[in-house]
Amino acid sequence: MKQPTKPQSRVFAPMLGLPSRRTLYVLTALLVATGTAWLFAHFGRQDDALPSPVEPWSMKIHGAAAMIAIFMAGTMVHRHVLPGWRMRRNRVAGIAMCIALGSLAATGYGLYYFDGETLRWLTERLHWGAGFLLPAVFAGHVCAARKSRRAKPRSTRVDTAM
Domain that holds residue 114: 18-42+52-150
| 61 lies in some domain | yes
Residue 34 sits in a domain whose CATH number is 1.20.120
Instruction: For 10-62, write each residue's pLDDT tens digit.
Output: 545 678 889 999 999 999 999 999 999 999 998 888 877 787 889 999 999 99
| 161 lies in some domain | no
| 8 lies in some domain | no
100-125 burial, b if ≥16 CB within 10 A, otherwise e?
A: bbebbbebbebbeeeeeeeeeeebee
Q: What is the pTM of this model?
A: 0.79
| 159 lies in some domain | no
Domain count, the chain: 1
| 4 lies in some domain | no
